[in-house]
Amino acid sequence: MQKFLRVKMDSKSPVWEDVKEEYALFGGRGLIAKILNDEVNPKCDALGPENKLIVCGGLLNGTLAPNSGRLSVGGKSPLTGTVKEANAGGVAGQMLGKLGIKAIIVENKPRDNEWFILKIDRNNAELLPADKYIGLNNYALTSQLRKEFGEKTGIISIGCAGERGYRNSTVQVTDMEGRPSRAAARGGLGAVMGAKGLKAIVLDATGPADTHYVDKEKFREAAKNYIAAIKADQVAGHVFPALGTAVLVNMVNALGALPTKNYSDGRWDKAENISGERLAEVQRARGGGAGHICMPGCAVSCSNIYNDENGNYLTSGFEYETITLNGSNCGIDSLDTIARIDRLCDDFGIDTIETGGTVAVCMEAGKIQFGDGEGAIKLIQEMIDGTDFGKILGQGTEFAGKHLGVKRIPTVKGQNMAAYDPRGLKGTGVTYATSPMGADHTAGNSVGMPKINHHKKEGQVEISTNLQVAMATVDSLGMCLMAALSPMADPVNVGYVCQMMAGKYGGEWDPDRLFGIGVQTLALEKAFNKAAGFTAKDNRLPDFMYKEVLPSTGSVFDFTEEELAMAIPF
């Protein structure tokens, strides 16, 4: 039977709780929304004791389902002030499932500014003093923790950014090789973890999983069919394993939606230099490249290893968003430089999307020039060093942009947009505007939708709504979106997911019931935001997106408030 592990940091007491029946069909993102509504004051200070840090897997976590071990991290966001769920690959998600943990709920804060490691194994959960680990960034930290607690442990950790309360800070997760290269990146949840005095969670899930199924054979059959569907899928089974998500660089550039020089254009003549195709070519010679698996049970292998020019490991999980925000959006066309930025971000524990956006507003303000890769690294180093200006940058793009007097600040609800200009990809623009998470492409990205004109607004509200429901469902199941969106475009494969839910939880499952999970999740998230003080007027892109024509497409973002109000009407 799955348990909640409630960790009260003021009394230093981890306590196991039975899970109430009403939580049975909540998981991942949906579970976080439910707990936040039930237990957290929406108007609380996100970095104060009233907020809670929630760490959990999804409804299919710990099962035989492929790609079902995503780790969800949530709380009220210090960056956006909204509900927040960010999820990551790596090994920790599945370990929670193996340990029978439905969620870890971290509350309050230590009385004397103490720091702790939360160590969990099959028999015990305990808070251990973390004094000797404070001041370490993620790579050194996880290396030491694995020496102390074993190479087979999974680690969820924060770097110094989270310790210092940077609002762009991440929660990092170790991958199959024990490297902290996977990030629950968005919304500053590293700072929430830091505010709880929690430096890391160390999971030891040695031993067999004890997962309960209502009908295991039914589940196994559906999982087998779904794996076959992934392998046969053109994108999940062929393109991603060969080229990774960076394959999107040339594609989005051709669409005219590639963020370029702080969203001043959507097409860049140097895009080829930072493309997935170039990355594959460079890494073939250096012994790195695509086809890497970041978590157990992955049937896609879209991750990669990026080696430096000497063939030594530099970073992994080097994704399209990171490459574009820190590449074309900053005018930087060196993959080696962007990979160094990615490594610094993972190590210090900051969001690569927010970081690229922040560096770009500095460039627009004239602090450094577009294209100045070493200058970009120096700005990130200022965050790491904790200089006065570095602390400003660590509060995110909107804070830094306003400080510098920049007019083109690409944020919604305080969060930097991802690597799709919403004037050139309007369905994703609707998602940026209306998602309860703030500007977040993983909440519903229209780039893969067939037979639509992405530069026109017709039909985009409906497309965004359908995608937001689908993504809220996938995030609640704990599935990786790379294994979900493309295969689940086929109703037959949706049927396999329904069959897995029936095999796991019993009862009849059809697509309406399955995607009802997403509708329920979005409704809970909107309720939390409304109680926190957000209104329809917050569902808006920055002014320049409505007024400045994107040169690559000749379009602006032209949705009215009334039109946007039609999105996710739950």
CA angle 311, 312, 314 (to 5 degrees): 120
Q: Toward other proteins, which CB reaches closer, 266 or 542? A: 266
User: How far apart are CB 416 and other proteins at their closest, in Å?
Assistant: 14
Q: Toward other proteins, which CB reaches closer, 482 or 502? A: 482
Phi, psi of 155 (to 5 degrees): -130, 135
Q: For residue 4, what are the β-bridge partners?
A: 17, 103
Query: Distance between CA 131 and CA 114 in Å, rounded?
Result: 8
User: How far apart are CB 419 and other proteins at their closest, in Å?
Assistant: 7
Q: Toward other proteins, which CB reaches closer, 158 or 443? A: 443
Look at residues 328, 524, 569, 525 and name the one whose alpha carbon lies nearest to residue 413.
525
Look at residues 432, 501, 500 and name the one whose alpha carbon lies nearest to residue 467.
432
User: How far apart are CB 105 and other proteins at their closest, in Å?
Assistant: 30
Phi, psi of 565 (to 5 degrees): -65, -15
Q: Toward other proteins, which CB reaches closer, 138 or 322? A: 322
User: How far apart are CB 236 and other proteins at their closest, in Å?
Assistant: 8
Q: Toward other proteins, which CB reaches closer, 275 or 395? A: 275
User: How far apart are CB 329 and other proteins at their closest, in Å?
Assistant: 14
Phi, psi of 246 (to 5 degrees): -65, -10
Q: Toward other proteins, which CB reaches closer, 339 or 419? A: 419
Beta strands at 116-120 and 198-203: parallel, antiparallel or unpaired: parallel
User: How far apart are CB 430 and other proteins at their closest, in Å?
Assistant: 16
Look at residues 370, 274, 270, 383 and name the one whose alpha carbon lies nearest to residue 330.
370
8 A C-beta contact, residue 164 and residue 208: no
Query: Distance between CA 89 and CA 176 in Å, rounded?
Result: 10
Beta strands at 171-173 and 182-184: parallel, antiparallel or unpaired: antiparallel
495: amino acid identity, one letter: G
Phi, psi of 179 (to 5 degrees): -95, 140
In the complex, the residues that contact other proteins under the rule CB under 8 A are 234-235, 238-240, 242-243, 245, 247-248, 250-251, 253-256, 267, 271, 276-277, 280, 302, 319-321, 418-420, 441-442, 445, 447-450, 481-482, 485-486, 489
Q: Toward other proteins, which CB reaches closer, 156 or 302? A: 302
8 A C-beta contact, residue 33 and residue 524: yes
User: How far apart are CB 397 and other proteins at their closest, in Å?
Assistant: 19
Q: Toward other proteins, which CB reaches closer, 173 or 463? A: 463
User: How far apart are CB 135 and other proteins at their closest, in Å?
Assistant: 34
With residues binned 3-state (H G I as helix, E B as strand, rest as coil), the percentages for the chain, rounded to 5, are 45, 15, 40
Q: For residue 307, what are the β-bridge partners?
A: 313
User: How far apart are CB 233 and other proteins at their closest, in Å?
Assistant: 9
Helices (H), 288-349: 320-326, 335-348
Q: Hey, is 238 helix, strand or coil?
A: helix
Q: Toward other proteins, which CB reaches closer, 199 or 441? A: 441
User: How far apart are CB 235 and other proteins at their closest, in Å?
Assistant: 5
Q: Hey, is 455 helix, strand or coil?
A: coil
Residue 508, both tokens? 């009849």
Query: Distance between CA 201 and CA 120 in Å, rounded?
Result: 8
Residues 6 or more apart whose CB falls under 8 angstroms from that of 235 comprise: 448, 486
Q: Toward other proteins, which CB reaches closer, 303 or 358? A: 303
Measure CA 235 to chain center: 20
Specify burial of residue 16 (Cβ count, 10 A radius: 0-12, 13-18, 19+).
exposed
User: How far apart are CB 350 and other proteins at their closest, in Å?
Assistant: 19
Residue 9, both tokens? 């940091």
User: How far apart are CB 70 and other proteins at their closest, in Å?
Assistant: 14
User: How far apart are CB 519 and other proteins at their closest, in Å?
Assistant: 20
Q: How far apart are the first and last CA of the chain?
A: 32
Query: Distance between CA 326 and CA 322 in Å, rounded?
Result: 6
